[in-house]
């Protein structure tokens, strides 16, 4: 019963509070109380790990919530980012129309994402995955401009098409399961029972990887990210990039490691093609981010690259690769979530959308830019921040994987991407704090302070601190969750 309550409570409370005719301050207090209660319910579910099967169509086709170590770990990341973004949005949405509509869908998507994390089988995961898509599309098109509607529709079409590819894999896996279809490490397929159909299953599983990987921005289904992020409100961009895209990662893990099993895929064309696409996405995303001048679009391309670090770790099909990917999942959620919140501050306070407008911004917003700097260093891979630990684990896993040329190519691409990441993030930091003086010897201009309210700065500080915590205790955190 507890998992159903943890999923439904944010959905129902978000809707109920949004339809109430309350003044903004009172409504935000109710949202805050509902959010903290939702977090408490998720913590209780992580602690006690109760299961529930609210609907059973047949013996194998049923809606089941059964939290395990992986689901609880991902749910923790969801809680942290949704909580930080919601408090930030209390201030940011003051300048937006229809804030109650935004918060309603934010809370509904929280419940849907909790369902994704707590799913006990592929059918449940697919249904919650689709609900997450449908409830985050309104966050993208919230401003209802022509560009926002176009970006929202692109996100919808890409996500639904990808999920249908994932459903194809789910259908075939269920047909060849012949027994219990609950998630289990190593998968539920009986390899002796699928003799003669291995190539068919590999094909549909690969389609599922591409399909669920659409949410994670993996090439060739990455096009929705740079279209959706620039037009969405900053809190929505932070959620989409920081955590919603990770739903695709979680779905891929469930498909490959907890349903099909790596024994069917390791050493086959599926693994090598998957690794190739991941490395291509890492390099391509970094290059596009390096060339992009619009802040949020640059960060969107960065997300395409950084999430494929996780997918590359998974594609190695080794324990160390998976652990490195999971550390990067948590670290990237904190870092990229913080970067998009900082971009929102630039827009909210000064109306700055382009990188060129950030020269000297560190003197006007020192707290914001220090948060921006810390998480940027994390994404580059500077110790002791999260990005260093995760990339070290992924690169080490690649070298020791015995994957032929990928054992060398993988670390090389990761290093090139790290250099490009420094190029498109640290150049902003340098010009923000050291704008330079005019050549004619004029005195350095006086920069008027423009730091945002505490509701916007505190969430950024929390996420920057989380990046440091993951960097210093990421392996301990995995052990704590039993991963």
Check if the beta carbon of residue 391 is closer than 8 Å to that of residue 309.
Answer: yes
Residue 287 sits in the same domain as residue 255 = no
Check if the beta carbon of residue 190 is closer than 8 Å to that of residue 178.
Answer: yes
Question: Which pLDDT value is given to residue 50?
Answer: 92
Residue 187 sits in the same domain as residue 314 = no
Q: Where are the beta strands (DSSP E) in 343-444?
A: none
Residue 424 sits in the same domain as residue 392 = yes
Residue 144 sits in the same domain as residue 243 = yes
Answer positive or negative: Cα dihedral of 7, 154, 463, 469: positive
In a domain, 271, yes or no: no
Check if the beta carbon of residue 109 is closer than 8 Å to that of residue 232.
Answer: no
Q: In sequence order, which residues have a C-beta less than 8 Å from that of residue 195 and are 6 or more positions away? A: none
The number of domains in the chain is: 2
Q: In sequence order, which residues have a C-beta less than 8 Å from that of residue 43 and are 6 or more positions away? A: 79
Check if the beta carbon of residue 476 is closer than 8 Å to that of residue 389.
Answer: no
Check if the beta carbon of residue 222 is closer than 8 Å to that of residue 281.
Answer: yes
The 8-class DSSP code of residue 442 comes to P
Question: Which pLDDT value is given to residue 304?
Answer: 93
- Domain that residue 453 falls in: 281-435+447-483
Question: Which pLDDT value is given to residue 15?
Answer: 95
Give the closest residue to 67 by CA, choosing from 213, 244, 258.
Answer: 258
Question: Which pLDDT value is given to residue 11?
Answer: 96
Residue 259 sits in the same domain as residue 323 = no
Give the closest residue to 79 by CA, choosing from 37, 24, 51.
Answer: 37
Check if the beta carbon of residue 326 is closer than 8 Å to that of residue 483.
Answer: yes
Helix (H) / strand (E) element for 168: namely helix 146-175
Residue 251 sits in the same domain as residue 117 = yes
In a domain, 273, yes or no: no
Q: In this structure, what is the dihedral angle of CA atoms 400, 402, 405, 410, given to the nearest 10 degrees?
A: -30
Residue 349 sits in the same domain as residue 203 = no
Which of 231, 265, 299 represents a domain boundary (last residue)? 265
In a domain, 431, yes or no: yes
Question: Which pLDDT value is given to residue 446?
Answer: 62
Which of 214, 233, 265 represents a domain boundary (last residue)? 265
Instruction: Please tell me the distance from the alpha carbon of residue 53 to that of residue 55, in angstroms, as a whole number.
Output: 6
Question: Which pLDDT value is given to residue 438?
Answer: 60
Question: Which pLDDT value is given to residue 150?
Answer: 92
Give the closest residue to 148 by CA, choosing from 160, 139, 136, 157.
Answer: 139
In a domain, 442, yes or no: no
Residue 20 sits in the same domain as residue 93 = yes
In a domain, 441, yes or no: no
The 8-class DSSP code of residue 447 comes to P
In a domain, 14, yes or no: yes
Instruction: Please tell me the distance from the alpha carbon of residue 361 to that of residue 251, in angstroms, as a whole number.
Output: 39
Question: Which pLDDT value is given to residue 307?
Answer: 93
Give the closest residue to 339 by CA, choosing from 81, 73, 109.
Answer: 81
Other beta carbons within 10 angstroms of residue 47's beta carbon come to: 11
C-alpha 140, offset from chain centre: 15
Q: pTM here?
A: 0.94
Instruction: Please tell me the distance from the alpha carbon of residue 474 to that of residue 153, in angstroms, as a whole number.
Output: 37
In a domain, 440, yes or no: no
Residue 130 sits in the same domain as residue 181 = yes
Residue 41 sits in the same domain as residue 153 = yes
Residue 224 sits in the same domain as residue 285 = no
Phi, then psi, of 294 in degrees rounded to 5: -80, 130
Residue 29 sits in the same domain as residue 120 = yes
The pLDDT profile of the chain, 483 residues, written as one tens digit per residue, is 889 999 999 999 999 999 988 888 899 999 999 999 999 999 999 999 999 998 888 777 899 999 999 999 999 999 999 999 999 999 999 988 899 999 999 999 999 999 999 999 999 999 999 999 999 999 999 988 899 999 999 999 999 999 999 999 999 998 888 778 889 998 888 877 787 788 999 999 999 999 999 999 898 888 888 888 888 999 999 999 999 999 999 999 999 999 998 999 999 999 999 999 999 999 999 999 999 999 999 999 999 999 999 999 999 999 999 999 999 999 999 999 999 999 999 999 998 889 988 988 988 899 999 999 999 999 999 999 999 999 999 999 999 888 889 999 999 999 999 999 999 999 999 999 888 766 555 556 666 777 889 999 999 999 999 999 999 999 999 999 998
């Amino acid at each position: 019963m507890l998992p159903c309550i943890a999923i439904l409570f944010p959905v129902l409370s978000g809707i109920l509070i949004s339809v109430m005719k309350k003044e903004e301050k009172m409504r935000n207090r109710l949202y805050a109380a509902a959010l903290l209660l939702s977090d408490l319910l998720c913590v209780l579910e992580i602690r006690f790990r109760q299961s529930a099967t609210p609907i059973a169509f047949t013996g194998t086709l049923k809606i089941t919530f059964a939290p395990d170590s992986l689901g609880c770990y991902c749910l923790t990341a969801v809680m942290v980012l949704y909580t930080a973004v919601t408090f930030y949005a209390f201030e940011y949405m003051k300048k937006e129309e229809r804030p109650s509509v935004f918060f309603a869908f934010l809370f509904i998507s929280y419940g849907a994402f909790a369902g994704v994390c707590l799913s006990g089988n592929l059918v449940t995961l697919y249904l919650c995955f689709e609900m997450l898509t449908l409830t985050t599309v309104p966050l993208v098109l919230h401003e209802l401009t022509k560009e926002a509607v176009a970006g929202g529709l692109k996100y919808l079409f890409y996500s639904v098409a990808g999920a249908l590819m994932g459903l194809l894999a789910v259908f075939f896996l269920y047909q060849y399961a012949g027994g219990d279809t609950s998630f289990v490490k190593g998968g539920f397929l009986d390899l002796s029972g699928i003799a003669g159909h291995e190539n068919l299953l590999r094909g549909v599983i690969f389609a599922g990887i591409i399909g669920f990987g659409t949410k994670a921005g993996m090439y060739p289904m990455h096009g929705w990210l740079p279209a959706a992020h620039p037009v969405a409100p900053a809190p929505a961009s932070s959620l989409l990039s920081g955590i919603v895209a990770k739903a695709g990662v979680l779905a891929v893990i469930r498909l490959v490691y907890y349903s099909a099993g790596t024994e069917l895929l390791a050493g086959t064309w599926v693994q090598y093609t998957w690794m190739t696409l991941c490395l291509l996405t890492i390099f391509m995303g970094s290059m596009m981010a390096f060339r992009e001048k619009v802040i949020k679009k640059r960060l969107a391309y960065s997300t395409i690259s950084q999430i494929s670090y996780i997918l590359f770790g998974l594609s190695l099909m080794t324990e160390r690769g998976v652990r490195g990917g999971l550390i990067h999942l948590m670290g990237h959620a904190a870092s990229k979530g913080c970067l998009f919140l900082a971009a929102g501050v630039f827009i909210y306070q000064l109306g700055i959308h382009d990188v060129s407008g950030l020269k000297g911004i560190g003197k006007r917003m020192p707290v914001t830019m220090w948060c921006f700097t810390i998480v940027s260093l994390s994404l580059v891979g500077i110790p002791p921040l999260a990005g260093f630990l995760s990339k070290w684990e992924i690169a080490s896993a690649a070298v020791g994987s015995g994957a032929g040329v990928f054992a060398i190519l993988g670390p090389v691409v990761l290093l090139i991407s790290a250099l490009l990441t420094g190029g498109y993030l640290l150049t902003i930091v340098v010009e923000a704090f050291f704008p330079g003086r005019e050549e004619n010897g004029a005195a350095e201009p006086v920069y008027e302070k423009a730091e945002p309210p505490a509701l916007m700065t505190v969430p950024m500080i929390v996420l920057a601190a989380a990046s440091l915590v993951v960097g210093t205790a990421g392996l301990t955190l995995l052990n704590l969750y039993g991963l």
